[in-house]
Amino acid sequence: MGRTSDAKERLLCVAFDLIWTSSYGSVSVDTICERARVNKGSFYHFFPSKSDLAVAAYEEFWQQKRPLYDRVFSPQVPPLERIAQWCELIYTGQKERADQCGRVLGCPYACLGAEMSTQDEKVRLKAEEVFARSCKYLESALADAKREKLVDIKDPKATAETIYAVVMGLLLQAKVRNEVEVLHDLEPTVMRLLGAKTVTT
């Protein structure tokens, strides 16, 4: 067995990876405990249920990624460059995961949310919450781009939600087709929707 002191962290990490690479329904508490080297009693000491673990694991993943998002969407970075970097972040992240496990995994929050939205309200709300956070980053970049007259949009919030929905759709396509290159032209696609010039060459 692993050390008790980091048992909770191992459970969070293992649960996230197993659910993302497989599915919530196919991953049992026994499998999570075995992979994390944590006994079942310790599992239930930390988490009342698999659902609670999933919510905590997906929140933990977001918190780990948040500094990267803060850097990519820093107000010091030109607004369209923020969006271009975000597109690149999505592509490279999906490519790295695909190289590791042999298939495209898509958005972890969209995958879990789509699977569990009609079965578990806590999980659905967590996915919705993360979508809203991501859209806030986009909205701030679009508001700055509008103010600098780089894009001709009326409502940065509505536009951010539309762009996010398009990107989620492309991530779904990439997963279903198991082709990460579906995301290769993410930036020009997004910029075209915004009526803006592509930032990178």
In order along its 201 residues, the chain shows pLDDT tens digits of: 445 569 999 999 999 999 999 999 999 999 999 999 999 999 999 999 999 999 999 999 999 999 999 999 999 999 999 999 999 999 999 999 999 999 999 999 999 999 999 999 999 999 999 999 999 999 999 999 999 999 999 999 999 999 999 999 999 999 999 999 999 999 999 999 999 877 764
The CATH architecture to which 1-58 belongs is Orthogonal Bundle (1.10)
pTM, two decimals, is 0.90
The CATH architecture to which 73-201 belongs is Orthogonal Bundle (1.10)
Residue 119 DSSP SS3: coil
**Counting every residue, how long is the chain?**
201
Sorted by where each begins, the domain ranges of the chain are: 1-58, 73-201
Residues 6+ apart with CB under 8 A from 148: 79
Distance CA 183, CA 170 (A): 7
